[in-house]
Chain A
Amino acid sequence: MEQDLAYSDPFLADILGRTRTIAMVGASANWNRPSHFVMKYMQTKGFRVLPVNPRDAGGEILGEAVVATLAEVAAPVDFVDIFRNAEAAGAITDEAIALAAEKGIRTIWMQLGVRNDAAAARASAAGLDVVMNRCPKIEFGRLNRELSWGGFDSGIVSSRRRRMRPI
Chain B
Amino acid sequence: MTRYGFETRMIHAGSEPEPVTGARQTPIFQNTSYVFHDADDAAALFNLQSFGFIYSRLTNPTVAALEERLASLEGGRGATCAASGHAAQLLAFFPFMEKGDRFVASNRLYGGSITQFSKTFAKFGWEVDFVDTGDLDAVRAAIGPATKALFAESLANPGGVVSDLEALARVAKDAGILFIVDNTMATPALCRPIEWGADLVVHSTTKFISGNGTSMGGAVIDSGTFDWAQNDRYGGLTGPEPAYHGLSFYESIGEMAFTAHYHAVGLRDLGATMAPMNAFLTLLGLETLSLRMERHCDNAATVAAFLAAHPAVAWVSFAGSDRSPFKPLADRYFGGRYGSVFTFGLKGGYAAGMALVESCTLLSHLANIGDTRSLILHPASTTHRQLTDAQRIAAGAGPEVVRISVGLETVKDILADLDQALTRAGQAAQAAE
Contacts and interface: CB of A to CB of B under 8 A. Distances in A.
Interface in B244-282: 244-248, 251-256, 259-260, 262-263
B71 A153 contact: yes
A6 B1 CA distance: 7
Nearest to B52: A149
Nearest to B262: A151
A156 interface: yes
B61 A37 contact: no
A33 B247 CA distance: 8
B101 to A, nearest CB: 25
Interface string B63-86: 111011001100011111100000
A146 to B, nearest CB: 4
A123 to B, nearest CB: 22
Interface residues of A, number: 37
Interface string A118-129: 000000000000
Contact of B16 (A44, A113, A145, A151): A145
B20 interface: yes
Nearest to B75: A153
Interface majority SS (helix, strand, loop, mixed), chain A: loop
Query: Which of B47, B49, B61, B251 has the most chain A CB atoms inside 10 A of its CB?
Result: B49
Interface residues of B, number: 54
B254 A44 contact: no
B13 to A, nearest CB: 6
Contact of B49 (A40, A151, A152): A40
A141 B1 contact: no
Contacts, number: 116
B335 interface: no
A18 interface: no
A157 B78 contact: no
A159 to B, nearest CB: 7
A40 B51 contact: no
A150 B49 contact: no
Contact of A153 (B40, B49, B77): B77
Contact of A150 (B17, B248, B254, B259): B259
A148 interface: yes
B218 to A, nearest CB: 13
Contacts of A8: 1
Contacts of B2: 157
A159 B12 contact: yes
Query: Which of A9, A31, A161 has the most chain B CB atoms inside 10 A of its CB?
Result: A161
Nearest to B24: A159
Contacts of A158: 12, 16
Given A9-B1, A157-B13, A157-B16, A152 B78 contact: yes
A148 B16 CA distance: 11
Contact of B77 (A6, A113, A152, A162): A152
Query: Which of B22, B48, B50 has the most chain A CB atoms inside 10 A of its CB?
Result: B50
B19 A44 contact: no
B9 interface: yes
Nearest to A146: B51
B1 A148 contact: no
Contacts of A9: 1
Contacts of A112: 254-255
B41 interface: yes
B256 A152 contact: yes
B351 to A, nearest CB: 48
B14 interface: yes
Nearest to B247: A32
B8 interface: yes
B53 interface: yes
Given A148-B68, A150-B259, A156-B16, 10 more contacts: A6-B1, A32-B245, A145-B16, A150-B263, A151-B81, A151-B263, A152-B78, A161-B17, A162-B17, A162-B19
23 contacts: A31-B245, A32-B252, A34-B254, A36-B49, A40-B44, A40-B49, A147-B51, A148-B14, A149-B52, A149-B53, A150-B59, A150-B64, A150-B256, A151-B262, A152-B68, A152-B256, A153-B68, A153-B78, A157-B13, A159-B16, A159-B17, A160-B17, A164-B19
Interface of A: 6, 8-9, 31-34, 36-37, 40-41, 44, 112-113, 135, 138, 141, 145-164
Across the A-B interface, the 9 shortest Cβ-Cβ residue pairs: A151-B67, A146-B51, A153-B71, A152-B78, A161-B17, A162-B19, A157-B12, A32-B247, A158-B16
